Chain A
């Protein structure tokens, strides 16, 4: 687990170089991050209309993790990968109200790596997730992975559109998306240890979100 210092972001552009930080709040709706070297960044809260751009410069390595509660929130994330850059984007959210998450990733350099994991848990509402990867012509040796999973009360409460536009032959790319209710076998297992149904469901939700996270300081609302 990674340990990091906490900051509030109060300007629209940030240069991050070889650092580890936890963003607890944004004063602006938009922020552009320029990433150099190795950066780990946890984000625990976002504005209701949030837009982020990540420029991963030459050979940059970014781990960015979101653990957020969305309530009538629109969040757009734009990613640009320079040569041999490496991105791990882990986005874990609980949602209520009507929400939209859009992630666009343009890979127009070579030997870059993108791994996007999204986990969403419905509290009471809807969510639309659009994840779009574009691997440009004449690029080589890029890797793009997108894995989106959601736990919902009803399947029609979420819509996932994982689009992948591959314009080159030299790439490893795959994407998948799953929508399901709470896993009944997990629920039975926790109940069989004596954990009450409501609490077991909360634990499964929380475990589902945390399972993609490496940054220990990220907390779900209400956690100690």
Chain B
């Protein structure tokens, strides 16, 4: 269970989130929507403990442990994993090196190099990526779609239990979006992680069917509902959706 209580976040003295609250139980899928610049990506950076985002008040706990007392590495070790809208390119470090090191540092590496490589190749096949992606430099010289699939390769290898998808659907064509969504669905069916989806688009939500949908506006959650709220947002925009949704729930 992730619990964000009354959190205020500043970046370079500018307040981005104020009295922000959210609860995500184990195995739940939540969608966070809102106008551009509302601070949706901020919450993903805060959860991953990016030092540029200062939490000036409030608490965040994950499985009753204080997330704000942890650094990024510790948060990742607890099982949080983020796919950002523009995954970082890291030249000179291959996927295989990074995954092997991450598994070792997290104390989760039970496979030898050959077995790890075999597992990565099998995942590449599932994601319709060439097998040589195992030894490609991280996201380097990859297309937008390849980068997102490459991040899913990391996801399947690191097996996190809380996934943040920050506009994973941006820049994906219809076919790539289907592969990405199918892969996340399969992962969900196998491991039942919690998922926080940050998106502007309908298609990913149609495929993943979130349990709860939140609208972030004016620095806090302004409305929470079920999937119907997302449908209303697509019909009437963020303002109209407030009136139309009748099945709001507190998350």
Contact = CB atoms under 8 A, between A and B. Distances in A.
Interface of A: 184-186, 188-197, 199, 203-204, 206-211
B158 interface: yes
B92 A207 contact: yes
B105 A186 contact: no
B88 A194 contact: no
B105 A192 contact: no
Contacts of A195: 73, 98, 101-102, 105
B204 interface: no
Interface of B: 48, 50-51, 71-73, 75-77, 81-82, 87-88, 90-93, 97-99, 101-103, 105-106, 137, 154, 158
A196 B105 CA distance: 7
A190 B48 contact: no
A194 B93 CA distance: 15
A192 to B, nearest CB: 5
Given A190-B102, A211-B137, 5 more contacts: A184-B51, A192-B48, A192-B76, A192-B81, A194-B73
A76 B48 CA distance: 46
Contacts of B92: 206-211
A204 to B, nearest CB: 7
Q: Among the interface residues B73, B97, B158, which one has the most CB atoms of the partner chain A within 10 A?
A: B73
Contacts of B93: 190, 203-204, 206-207
B98 A190 contact: yes
**Which of B77, B88, B103, B158 has the most chain A CB within a 10 Å cutoff?**
B88
A162 to B, nearest CB: 21
B48 to A, nearest CB: 5
B97 A193 contact: no
A130 B218 CA distance: 54
A194 B158 contact: yes
B137 A193 contact: no
B97 A203 contact: yes
Contacts of B102: 190, 193-195
B91 A191 contact: no
B82 A203 contact: no
A4 B101 CA distance: 28
A203 B73 CA distance: 15
A193 B98 contact: yes
10 contacts: A186-B88, A188-B48, A190-B90, A192-B81, A194-B76, A194-B106, A195-B98, A195-B102, A196-B105, A208-B92
A192 B72 contact: yes
A122 B92 CA distance: 17
Given A207-B91, A211-B92, A211-B137, A196 B73 contact: yes
Instruction: Count chain B CB atoms within 10 A of each CB in A196, A199, A210 and give the residue with the most.
Output: A196
